[in-house]
A and B are shown apart, each in its own frame.
Chain A
Amino acid sequence: AQSVTQLDSQVPVFEEAPVELRCNYSSSVSVYLFWYVQYPNQGLQLLLKYLSGSTLVKGINGFEAEFNKSQTSFHLRKPSVHISDTAEYFCAVSLLTGNQFYFGTGTSLTVIP
């Protein structure tokens, strides 16, 4: 079975400060890893994904994440946040064989002016 744990439900951070949103996963088989962002009253938008290759992946809006297989983690980072980054962030894994995604419970990022 697969599960995803997002360790922080809420993360407040000042504008232009760096941020890290933590994600750990558990799976008995290989998985793909994703980060999605959800703005109020909208669906989810893909930030970045790890399928294979380099463990450091870069996404949209200046976000990046690092896959750590030994620690089964996929933490999301941004060196300098903006007000517009205020949103809900979801970490997810999927099986290699189908579009069945397992999501964490989300981290609410609030950027303080």
Chain B
Amino acid sequence: KAGVTQTPRYLIKTRGQQVTLSCSPISGHRSVSWYQQTPGQGLQFLFEYFSETQRNKGNFPGRFSGRQFSNSRSEMNVSTLELGDSALYLCASSLFSTPSTGEQFFGPGTRLTVL
């Protein structure tokens, strides 16, 4: 089975631009979660989608948004980029939406650099 794939792997943007990141979960997985990883803050939860519905949301400003499609692929969007948005964005997928029913599998991440 193919793992979680994220595209693109690397992105360079400038302040004020917007960006869209994509995540394809493992086939059959219906839950997709997004995390931001930075050296100072570590891994922080952004949001989780299950069957096209946002189930949980972390403490991030409204500039961060996401969606999930009927094939479980997910996108996250960041508008009006700031320097502090530079980070590794990780996507994780699992079969169901509770940790007891299945493991979360992480993708390799998208490295976003904001200049």
Asked if B24 is an interface residue, CB under 8 A from chain A, the answer is no
Nearest neighbor of A31 in chain B, beta-carbon distance: B99
Q: Mark B71-115, 1 if CB is under 8 A from A, else 0.
A: 000000000000000000010101001111001101111000000
Asked if A32 is an interface residue, CB under 8 A from chain B, the answer is yes
Q: Is the interface of B mostly helix, strand, loop or mixed?
A: strand
Q: Is the CB of A42 within 8 A of B108?
A: yes
Cβ of A111 to closest chain B Cβ, rounded Å: 22
Residues from chain B with a CB closer than 8 A to the CB of A92 are 43
Q: Is the CB of B99 within 8 A of A103?
A: no
Residues from chain A with a CB closer than 8 A to the CB of B35 are 101, 103
Asked if A27 is an interface residue, CB under 8 A from chain B, the answer is no
Residues from chain A with a CB closer than 8 A to the CB of B42 are 90, 103-106
Interface residues, chain B, with chain A CB atoms under 8 Å away: 4, 31, 33, 35, 41-45, 48, 50, 55-56, 58, 90, 92, 94, 97-100, 103-104, 106-109
Bound-complex Cα distance A7 to B85 (A): 26
Asked if A99 is an interface residue, CB under 8 A from chain B, the answer is yes
Nearest 5 CB-CB pairings of A with B: A43-B106, A103-B43, A105-B42, A44-B106, A100-B56
Cβ of A110 to closest chain B Cβ, rounded Å: 17
- The segment out of A15-23, A45-53, A61-69, A78-86 that lies at the interface is A45-53
Q: Is the CB of A94 within 8 A of B99?
A: yes
Nearest neighbor of B58 in chain A, beta-carbon distance: A100
Asked if A41 is an interface residue, CB under 8 A from chain B, the answer is yes
Residues from chain A with a CB closer than 8 A to the CB of B31 are 99
Bound-complex Cα distance A32 to B99 (A): 8
